[in-house]
Structure 1
Amino acid sequence: MMLETILLILSILLFISIVVGRIGGRLGIPVLVLFLAVGMIFGSNGVGIIFNDLRLAEGIGTLALCIILFSGGLNTKFSEIKPIIKQSVMLATMGVILTATFTGLFTWWLCGELLPSLGISLLTAVLLASVMSSTDSAAVFAILGSKNVQLKNHLRPMLEFESGSNDPMAYMLTITLIGLIKAGGEPNIPMIILSIVMQIIVGTTIGYFVGRFAVYVLNRIKIGNEVYYPIIVLTFCIFIFSFTHFVNGNGYLAVYIGGLIIGNSKFVTKRTTFKLFDAISWLSQILMFLTLGLLVNPIELLPVAVPALLIGLFMIFIARPLSVFISLLPFRKMGYKDKAFISWVGLRGAVPIIFAIFPLTAGVPHAQFIFNIVFFITLLSILLQGTFLTQVAKWLGLLGPSKVHRRHDDFDMELPEEIGSFSTEIVVTEHAVKDGNKLMDMPLPDDALVVMVKRNDKYFVPKGKTELHVGDKLLIMVNNEETLSQTYHSMGLASSFPK
């Protein structure tokens, strides 16, 4: 296929995914399922696009996950994760191991009962479970972000930190088990444990120190064109991942730690960098799910539907809750409802599917069976857990007040978070000028400051005696959400207060 043809198809698929995702999001359908669905519809069993390059799919998935994890680290605040870092680490390590163990044993028993002719070994069953043992960072970031879910008791940063840091453990279990199956013989448990510990130490160390070095470079280097600074950050992201791999560390953990260090430091063009990575992260998610959707043959999922459904339900309702409650036993102050909700948000997404490609490329027996099972369970998890995530939080009384989304259409201005204030823009209405059309006559709260006015295509800084017209757009700075709400109500815009 010619490059121009590939680019044309890719652009069409990206556009369709964005449109479908927006429509589906309004209907409450997780957008990640829709991205997968677009790929499946246009794949070999649908429109007929044939994509079966496992190495390319693995490469796309690995690069996309690298960027998603780095972006997740950038957007994670130390102040938010500090109170819950111990709990998150337990979930990201012990929780993953327990989930893999429980699910692996159940899978081995189930396959022996339903599919004895396959001859699935215990090691293969645990490999299948290990592939799915981590919560998916892309799914958690996307669903919590797209639904604007705000949770009580530091649950949101805990879930995001867990999902961003538990992929490395699942990856190490997957790679280790693939090696054991191919090598045969009895596993050397002490060596496996030592290898995992070393990968964690090396990954954490490189992520931390290279992240610090990146901040140093960004604040010392002088470049006339500011567009290069976000590119430098992207370069460090790729370097951290690849360099860690070459020194036998865990690149997924390193890249998340690196993003965490960089995101919590001050450096030039920080806001621009965050916006760029938000966009790249979503593009990566779309590409990753589209690729995986194209890769799978939906017809092949039908023969494994029954065992996949049973394994998926066992993981969602038994293995994940057991793992969460056991891992969090030392934290007795955590309530039952908090643990129940954490259990529910055990979302599987693109990461398990990417990890399921590893046995295929390695030539492991029953690799295609593992891939199909994992793909089916991923769809089940996102549809079931993702769709009812907000509702479960509501049932458990854990929903917090939603943060206001302030979109700037006419004033491209955003204040650094450390200032403590934020800006918003509103339109002057008839109600606002009923007592006079001068700025001093506007019914604004005392701590709301109008810093700029847009009239038609012209911008100017107002004074107290500046006359305002209906339709003028005001850029206003406020100190908190309460003042913002008062501003909208006093200006006659209560119905358009952003939610």
Structure 2
Amino acid sequence: MTALNGLFLLAGVLLFISVLASTVSARLGLPLLLLFLIVGMLAGEEGPGGVRFNDFASATLVGHLALAVILLDGGLRTRIASFRVALWPATVLASWGVIGTAGLLGVFATWLLDVDWRMGMLLAAIVGSTDAAAVFALLRNSGVRLNERVKATLEIESGANDPMAILLVTILVEMLLMPEQAGWWRFFTMLFEQLTLGALMGGIGGLILARLLIKLKLAEGLYALLIVSGGLMVFAATNLAGGSGFLAVYLAGLVVGNRRCHATEHVLRVMDGLAWLAQAGMFLVLGLLVTPSLLLDHAAEALAMAVFLMLVARPIAVVIGLWPFKYQPRELAYVSWVGLRGAVPIVLAIVPVMMGVPDSRLLFDVAFAVVLVSLLVQGATVPVAARWLKVEVPPQDEPVDRREVWVGDKAALDLLEYKVVSGSAAEGRHPDDIAAARGGLAVRCVSVVRRGKLLPLQIDTRLQEGDSVWFAAADEYAESLAHAFTANAANELSAHASFFGEFIVDPECLAGELAQAYGFVLEDHESALSLRDMMRARLGRRAVVGDRLKIGAFVLTVREMDARGVITQVGLKCPSLLP
């Protein structure tokens, strides 16, 4: 009993320290996942904690369980519209991207480490895939809003590339231990089984869980447990059937998350905490598993491999894979740079150790060091690189908070919160006047909170700086309401308006009429096209919010799109009249 309580105490202390240290991580600009790894290493046998942990089997169990929860959460938060934009590009990266990266890095590793080519290729395959835990966590907590094409490509790739990496590692281990059984025909057979069964069982499992979520009436906290337990059942059953459990659980989450109902918000709130717990637990255990002195023994080789991976292998594979899809050079550069390595390579590096591959500890230590470099260098520069390469979209003028109140199985009421700031149009006005001006009868003020207390609405109520105002309004009115609560100097545009342009243009208008009104020049055949069709023809690819066309001194920007991918608003930015 004492040993058990000691284990609980150790787990609690490590998690507690990691969470508290997250504030330091944010100030230093370091990825939180890297912090979890470091805390685990400090608690290990060569750190102040002195905990001796060398149980690779337990680490594998924790890793697979945590990855299943993380992928389930990632699927729940991925909108199906993302697949419209980036399904095929991400599929190419999840297949060719892994193979191409592993092939180039394998040749380099074989030469650098002077090992058998199969050993070099195995090491490259271990670190060849991007990591869902790292990508989901950093993209959603970095504070940047990427354009949909880039964001969707990275998220779908990281959620779908695990089967290819696992198969490459499995085949290469077999080639080292049982060369007579290994072969490319077996590789393609296993790949077909993994992808087919993973997609089939994930889709069916997701539909069943989504249906249960709608039909069952449970206590709020049980909805998330239903989805987690169901997701783990899908993950395990698919693995037992010979498919990819990682792909299946991601697709199951995708199906459930896109069939929204009264229980969806309860699930997402609980899953957020579970996903962070899974990430923290997994990286802490993997940190405990490593021996820092062994990492230093191979530091030079690991650094050389990490640099080659980040600057040569990954970029070449990305450029070749995405070139047919007409990505812009800066988008290719960013997708190449955010090829984050995390828990998946470390978990894969445990496989050769457990299978008894000679010199497998070398593989584990080098792979771990590559992950550290990736999180430290690439993970810490995610927001900086987005701004430098201009793939971010300015945040919309939007509510401080929003809630959904479900009033039926398929009907929800949106509640939007705004803060009154000094100098905004809302200051000194009655909230009902703001509602009437911004949405008429479709917008209603439901409450005002002043200094933490509910303020009764009277005829003479006037909003003051610091008030929180809640409106019942559809999402389409959110941006318009936000303008009333935004303080700007005279004639100064918000970052959002400055990026998209001073004017909003109807995409159904004739491009020729717009050109004539503003004095820019189009090709002869473009004048008779609608603005939407003209922009689509010039872009030459599926449009996303933030796509820009420069015509002379004018800039046209895709400002808004509907769920079908149709452009519904275009921003027009005129040349400055100032000298």
Query: TM-score, structure 2 length as denominator?
Result: 0.77
Q: CA deviation at 1:320?
A: 0.3
Cα distance between partner residues in 2 of 1:76 and 1:428:
33
Residue type at the aligned position of 1:340: A
Contact 1:428/1:474 (CA < 8 Å) preserved in 2?
A: no
Is residue 2:68 matched to residue 1:66?
A: yes
Hey, what's the Cα distance between the residues in 2 that align with 1:180 and 1:430?
Answer: 70
Which one scores higher on RCO, CA 8 angstroms, separation ≥ 6? Answer: 1
For residues 306 and 244 of structure 1, do their structure 2 counterparts lie closer, same or farther at Cα, with a shift above 3 Å needed?
A: same
Following the alignment from structure 2 to structure 1, what is the Cα–Cα distance between the partners of residues 396 and 376? Answer: 25
Please give the per-residue CA displacement for 1:370-407, whole angstroms capped at 9, x wherever unaligned. 00000100011111111222222222222211357866
Residue 381 of structure 1 pairs with residue 374 of structure 2: yes
Distance 2:421 2:388 in 1: 40
Q: What amino acid does structure 2 have at the position aligned with 1:275?
A: R
Separation in structure 2 between the aligned mates of residue 442 and residue 326 of structure 1, nearest angstrom: 52
Of 169-178 and 452-461, the range deviating more from structure 2: 452-461
| Residue 480 (structure 1) aligned to one of 478, 481, 485 | 478
Residues 433 and 441 in structure 1, CA contact (< 8 A), matched pair in contact too = no
1:326 aligns with 2:324: no
Q: Does 1:350 align with 2:343?
A: yes
Aligned-partner residue type, residue 487 of structure 1: F
Corresponding letter in the other structure for 1:426: K
Give the residue type in structure 2 aligned to 1:261: V
Q: Tell me, which stretches of 5 or more residues in structure 1 are unaligned?
A: 113-119
Please tell me whether the aligned partners of residues 148 and 402 of structure 1 are also in contact (alpha carbons under 8 angstroms): no
Larger radius of gyration: 2
Q: Which one has the bigger strand percentage?
A: 2
Rounded Cα–Cα distance in structure 2 between residues aligned with 1:82 and 1:418:
25
Which among 242, 248, 259 is matched to residue 253 of structure 2?
A: 259
Asked if 1 retains the 8 angstrom alpha-carbon contact of 2:399 and 2:478, the reply is no
Matches within 5 A, 1:32-431: 32-47=33-48, 48-112=50-114, 120-152=115-147, 154-185=149-180, 187-223=182-218, 225-331=219-325, 333-402=326-395, 413-414=403-404, 423-426=416-419
Matching residue's letter, 1:151: L
CA distance in 2, matches of 1:66, 1:431: 46
Q: Deviations over 1:159-206 (max 9, x none)?
A: 111111112211122123223322133732112211111111011100
Identity among equivalent positions (%) equals 34
Q: What is the rounded CA distance, in whole Å, between the counterparts of 1:459 and 1:413 in structure 2?
A: 18
User: Any idea what SS the aligned residue of 1:51 has?
Assistant: coil
Residue 487 of structure 2, aligned match among 460, 484, 489: 489
The answer to whether the 8 A contact 2:177-2:357 is kept is yes
The range that moved more, 447-456 or 462-471, is 462-471
Structure 1 contact 44–50 (Cα < 8 Å) conserved = yes
Name the stretch that deviates more: 44-53 or 184-193.
184-193
Q: Distance in 2 between matches of 1:140 and 1:26?
A: 20
CA shift, 1:428, in A, is 8.8
The letter for the 2-side match of 1:320 is: R
- In the alignment, the residues of structure 2 paired with residue 38 and residue 232 of structure 1 have an alpha-carbon distance, to the nearest angstrom, of 32
Q: Tell me: CA distance 1:442–1:482, structure 2 relative to 1, closer, same or farther (3 Å).
A: closer
Q: Distance between the aligned counterparts of 1:104 and 1:371, measured in 2?
A: 15
* Distance in 2 of aligned mates of 1:434 and 1:158: 42
Partners of 1:329 and 1:440 in 2: CA distance: 52
What is the Cα deviation at residue 485 of structure 1? Answer: 3.7
The residue matched to 2:298 in structure 1 has which SS? helix
Which stretch shifts more, 295-304 or 476-485?
476-485
| Pair 457,323 (structure 1): closer, same or farther in 2 beyond 3 Å | closer
Cα shift at 1:442: 7.4
| 2:457 equivalent among 439, 449, 462 | 462
Aligned to 2:438: 446
Q: Is the 1:445–1:487 Cα contact (8 Å) retained in structure 2?
A: no
Three-state SS of the structure 2 residue aligned to 1:29 is: coil
Shift of residue 93 of structure 1?
Answer: 0.7
* Matches of 1:288 and 1:433, distance apart in 2: 47
* 8 Å contact kept, 1:349–1:378: yes
Q: What is the one-letter code of the residue matched to 2:286?
A: L
Q: Which residue is equivalent to 2:6?
A: 5
Q: Deviations over 1:18-62 (max 9, x none)?
A: 121222112211211111111111211111122221111111111
Q: What is the TM-score with the length of structure 1 in the denominator?
A: 0.88
User: CA–CA distance in 2 between the matches of 1:62 and 1:405?
Assistant: 38
Cα distance, 1:215–1:303 mapped onto 2, change above 3 Å: same
Q: Which residue of 1 aligns with 2:549?
A: none
Displacement of 1:486: 2.2
User: What is the CA RMSD across the aligned residues, in angstroms?
Assistant: 3.0
- In the alignment, which residue of structure 2 is the partner of 1:117? none
Give structure 2 stretches of 5+ with no counterpart.
496-579
Counterpart residue identity of residue 131, structure 2: D
Question: For the residues of structure 2 that align with 1:80 and 1:443, how far apart are their CA atoms?
Answer: 33
Matched residue type, 1:353: I
Q: Following TM superposition, by how much is the alpha carbon of 1:330 offset from its aligned partner in structure 2, in angstroms?
A: 2.4
User: Separation in 1 of the partners of 2:400 and 2:18?
Assistant: 23
- The question of whether the paired residues in 1 share the 8 Å contact of 2:428 and 2:462 is answered with no
Residues paired across the two proteins, number: 480
State the Cα distance separating 1:329 from its structure 2 match: 3.1
3-state SS in 2 of match to 1:476 = strand
Match of 1:115 in 2: none
Provide, for residues 232-251 of structure 1, a one-character-per-residue CA deviation record: whole Å limited to 9, x for no partner: 11111100100001111110
Which moved further from structure 2: 185-194 or 139-148?
A: 185-194
